[in-house]
Amino acid sequence: MTQIFKIAIIGAGMAGLSAASALTQAGHNVVLFDKSRGSGGRMSTKRTESGDLDMGAQYFTARDNHFRNALQTWIANGWVTEWTPRLFIRNEGELVESPDDQQRYVGSPRMTSLSRGLLEGLELVGQTRIQSLEHNDDNSWGLKDETGTVHGPFDRVVVATPAPQAVPLLAASGHLEQATAQVEMQPGWTLALAFAEPLDTAVEACFVRVGALDWISRNSSKPGRQGLDTWVLQSNPRWAMGNLDTDKAEVSRQLLAEFADALSINIPVPVYQHAHRWLYARSEGACNWGALAAPEKGLYVCGDWCLGGRLENAWLSGQQAAQTLMERK
């Protein structure tokens, strides 16, 4: 008979949810822990009276066949739908339409509809930051949170956080700790905006190649979004690095000016604005690791950074961690 494990997963973003789904389907008892109240991680949505604004992942693409199969289920469940924005590119001196055949998907009616859907039937312990892992003599694990409470015991642990946040949790395995510590992640600033009247532009999404921004989207052009004309701007990592400690009002002022430049229109005063700093937005380069494991200890690591910073890769990394764990009883 297959042995049933009690498994802790630290991080309820796409990678953790993916691992949790696979392990639960195989009959294991899984508990997710996250420092935030809910699930989703960098696939996050800010809910406001002006509308819901996707602050992290803006959309996703699907290239791997396993991921495409999962996507079909999510679409059938009504969690995800296709988004076909009018796409532009902003180069030095010109803003031009840049259509393509790429299929792009979004959570519906908000990005977190996907994480919420994936969480159905799973156990999440929210608002619990895990500070260290205790490896017991009987090879079981305890998870110590920042209040000093120890959760467990668990037979297996999957760490599914951004690399810099995983490092302090991997002290029990020198090789996992060292490999993870090599991964650098870059910051980003996101500015969410709402306007009383729709802006006078055909742009629904724009890749930006000049200045501080690298992405602009008309959030309200995504399917199912209610409310005002809402927009999301994302800085490039270089600009974010130079503005890590700039206060939010100044970040908003500068990014609004960049927005007006990029679209070459006058931008009225927004009725809502919210700036958010991501310390660990994206990993530099791709490792192609799939997931990391110290099977003799029952410790596994996954996250988008194991394959390169995209939602699809986070899901694939979570699947890989679950597979590796189940192969080694």
List contacts with ligand FAD (CB under 6 A).
10-16, 33-36, 41-43, 56-60, 129-130, 160-162, 165, 188, 190, 234, 278, 281-282, 303-304, 309-311, 314
Cβ-based nearer residue to ligand FAD, 262 or 281: 281
Residue 297 interacts with ligand NAI (CB under 6 A)? Answer: no
Cβ-based nearer residue to ligand FAD, 82 or 94: 82
User: Where on the phi/psi map is residue 255: left (φ > 0), alpha (ψ -120 to 50), or beta?
Assistant: alpha
89 binds, among ligand NAI, ligand FAD, none (CB under 5 to 8 A by kind): ligand NAI
Q: How far apart are CA 13 and CA 220, in angstroms?
A: 24
| 8 Å CB contact between 139 and 297 | yes
100 binds, among ligand NAI, ligand FAD, none (CB under 5 to 8 A by kind): ligand NAI
129 binds, among ligand FAD, ligand NAI, none (CB under 5 to 8 A by kind): ligand FAD
Q: How far apart are CA 27 and CA 10, in angstroms?
A: 19
Written as one letter, the residue type at 36 is: S
| 8 Å CB contact between 231 and 192 | yes
SS (H, E, C) 248-316: HHHHHHHHHHHHHHHHCCCCCCCCEEEEEEEEEEEECCCCCCCCEEECCCCEEECCHHHCCCCHHHHHH
Binds ligand NAI by CB under 6 A, chosen from 30, 228, 281, 299: 281
Written as one letter, the residue type at 134 is: E
13 binds, among ligand NAI, ligand FAD, none (CB under 5 to 8 A by kind): ligand FAD
Q: Whole-number minimum distance, CB 168 to ligand NAI, in Å?
A: 23
Q: Whole-number minimum distance, CB 280 to ligand FAD, in Å?
A: 7
Cβ-based nearer residue to ligand FAD, 127 or 264: 127
Q: Whole-number minimum distance, CB 120 to ligand NAI, in Å?
A: 25
Cβ-based nearer residue to ligand NAI, 298 or 309: 309
294 — phi, psi (to 5°)?
-120, 80
**H or E element at residue 24:** helix 14-25
CA neighbours within 13 Å on the CB side: how many for 64?
A: 14
Residue 44 interacts with ligand NAI (CB under 6 A)? Answer: no
Closest CA to 290 of 309, 317, 315, 328: 317
Residue 89 interacts with ligand NAI (CB under 6 A)? Answer: yes
Residue 103 interacts with ligand NAI (CB under 6 A)? Answer: no
Residue 309 interacts with ligand NAI (CB under 6 A)? Answer: yes
**H or E element at residue 326:** helix 311-327
- Interface ranges with ligand NAI (CB under 6 A): 60-61, 87, 89, 98, 100, 102, 188, 207, 234, 281-282, 309-310
